[in-house]
Structure 1
Amino acid sequence: MPALKRIDSTEAYVRFLALYRKHNDNCPAPSHTRKKKCLDGTVVEVTVHRRTGIIPEQVKTTFHMMLKKYVDNYNYVREKLPGFVYEESDRYPSLLTNNARMGEWCDCTDKTIYNHRKHLETLGVIKTKFRGRRSDYELWITPEILFGGGEEAKTENPSQTPKIDLLNTHGKTFLHSNTDRETKEKENNNAETLKSGYRENGYGERGGTKTPASPKDGLSEPIAQSEGQGAARRSKQEIMAQAAQERHKQADTLKSRMTPTLPPRLEKYFEDMLVGFWMYAWKVLYPDREFSKEQQELAISAIYHGVYNRFDDARDAKGWADFQARQLGKLDKAAKYYDHHPDAYLPDPYAVQVKGKGYFDAENERGFAGLEAWIKRDEVRAENRRNKNDEERQRRQKRAEQLLRQARRDFERLAAGAAQRQEVRGKTQLQLWNYYRLIFAGLGKQYERKFAQQYLDQQARDFQPPKYYQTKRQRKVYAADATVVIVDEWMTDGDWYYSEL
């Protein structure tokens, strides 16, 4: 998988400024006419052009601080975690923050940060995703700002290694102004760094110009012998290709030393689930911790037994996907708790002194295993809230239907001149309509529209009740004259009788 790209903060900020100025230059400037009184007392009209929709200057300062904090977190993750663990769809780390914390960094209020963040999201510079109930969110700066529009930044990739004349063994070689020579004996760096051989030094120094070792020193014995016997018979490209192959081989060896060993006889699907869970737990629960290969193996073993029960449960593919999503949700819930309670004790992922006291051990009910009961309690509370809301909605609906029937009867009795109820006695039709309009306005737009439609239907039929609303006595009065049919015996053959009417 591709490694994380290197971010140049200066170039990223320049790209942001270009986008910022382009947006402000394209904002419309409508004209407004103002009257101005001169010193001599005459009144003249002045046309004023004022731009609308521009982004204020303070947003640039806020973005500069966002970029600095994001790049610091990005470089930390890039240094501590190997680049091969990132998927193509989610390869860039995020910055976990909130408006209050950003306000402290930028020396302003959280409301100002909220407004500036909305400007930057509208501009398409940043993306956010809430991670928590109210305030915390993850922040990404778009790749177009970080690396340019589709252009590949400098990555730790052998294909982009600076080309050095391996046949030249004399003189001083001046390296690139922002790189320094990295010795290949330092195995604590990741494998991709070993492949490239060049990077910024650990002290932030730029422009190292000390004389490096001879390029032939890093070559294997066969290459040195081939150069000694007859370098003229081999091209420069062949020598560099073989050197790159040697670097790849050493990098794979180093990667195998750093990658923890997984439980045996696991399917590829289960291996991805196990490693993905551990890397996400490392990111959200232990971002400031460093684990060696042996410690990672202990943590993965604890997760394998305590979280996944050695994958012995009978589930289909969809069941395992849902199970994995639920476990990752538990990690989010635990991370949110520890973010809001920084003084709370977070155990190691594996047992250190007492068996079964690791955070992911199944025996530790106060660890990850206890989150299931916590989530179930939250689900019960959510279900109770939904039931309560349903009951309230049904009660409101029943009350609204009762008021609709009452309003229909009041209008019909008013049109017929019958006695009214005490609450609406003495009201005219307009007053009665306004009385019910205010009542239904408090129940919501839905019932207000129903009342208006019912009133229009009643007005169209002159406030006469429909036939299915009339009493038995009224239906008898308004019924048409009955038709009498004399039935003879020959008409009763079959199920019905014959009639010419």
Structure 2
Amino acid sequence: MNLTQQINYDQAIRRWCARVEEYNENCETFVSKRTSLTVDGEVVTKEFVMKKGTLKGSVKSTGMHLIALYSQAWAKANAAVHGMARPVDVYVATNRVELGARLSRSGRSCYDHIRKLISVGLIENYSFCGRQHSFKIWISPKILFGEAETTPAVAAQKMPSFAPVRQKMPPIYNPLKQYTTTISADKCGQTQIHDHGNNKDPHSHGQNGQETASYKPVATETRQGGRAAAEYAELEKMWISLPNYLRSLTTGFWKVAKTQLYPRCQFTEEDQRQAILEIYEGVFGKFAVAQSDVAWADYYNELMDRMQLAKRWFDKHPDRSPDMPYRCKKKLGYFDPKNNFGFARTAEWFAKDSLRKRENRVEFLLNSARIDFERWASGKPRASHIGKDELQLFVYYQNWARTYGKEVEAKFSAQYLEQKARNFEPKKIHRLSIRAQKKQQKDQNPTQVVYVESWMSEFGEGFYSY
């Protein structure tokens, strides 16, 4: 099936209506008899042929609404990953109350509609969440995109799918020592290991009046000090043998990098070919790690976040610019993992940023649990916790804290025991009055006695106090 960036809503609705009609036609039929009494007192029996288990118009409209929601989610996902989203990664997060409010139905009716849509085949997958959204829904791609018209004669060979713990890419095979993660503005483009120059932007007239605005590297078979043409030919041969999906990851990454990091550069086809091969080797590690396509998609999304971190850094330092994407003369390429000031550095930035976000989420969890237990004890629980007792509320937050590890779960348990010891009353903050503060300050700084000469005192005393 042809996966496009935008779902044709009209065609998807037509396929859904055809599916409903086909389902209703195949439903079991039965004869219903009805008796009535005429004016003359004669009993008349009429027979009606009816079908059992058909889909009503309300269920049909609920399916249309879910298709519309999924179309919006699909467009948003494609904008985030630049047109390479897959149906397995896009879903609709909603609940019965939200659907009922939009469709003017009760929550129970919407729940029954969801069950019927699953049996019909519109909803391909269903997952219960239990927190902010009640469930996640995946719509069938056959209804959204239609059946595949033609299939390739020989399918591309895919790498075996394993389920080990995914290591952080790119693989760390760099024998050189990595320096501190702090990048100073005056030493960003220089190292003792490799001569990266001063990172002057060759695309700006302000650097050199004789330079042109568009940088066009010399198109020769072997760049001076760079890679030989044979090396790129060997890399290209390995890259072509990859499945289409993995090749699309490298090309998509280069398209984003070209617009985000090199907006003023003009690259020839040969330059772009070498950049893609550098990305294939340096960023994706030649796809040497055997893992599923979903894991590679997650890693690609992580790379997009790292790309934004690098872009923000260069936006804050307009006097700096990234190295060329491929090795040129004595400079390493920006995507070479051996480049201490290249894209590999963003992995450390991303790890620190992820840790900071995780700490904020843990702090939000503990604060929410504290407030909810205090409100529950005062008889004013949150709307989502109405009807829960103390044990149910504890299990709810314990399961939430367990997703962050045993350490966070232990912090939550300690906080819960501390609250329970004071009957879930808000913790009192002892504040001293102004008089008590002055007294405390006076006790900490007692009266000092300073001895002076007799002539320095007005009354002839040999000391005074303050």
- TM-score by structure 2 length? 0.39
Higher RCO (C-alpha 8 Å, min separation 6)? 2
TM-score by length of 1: 0.36
| Structure with max Cα Rg | 1
More helix by share: 1
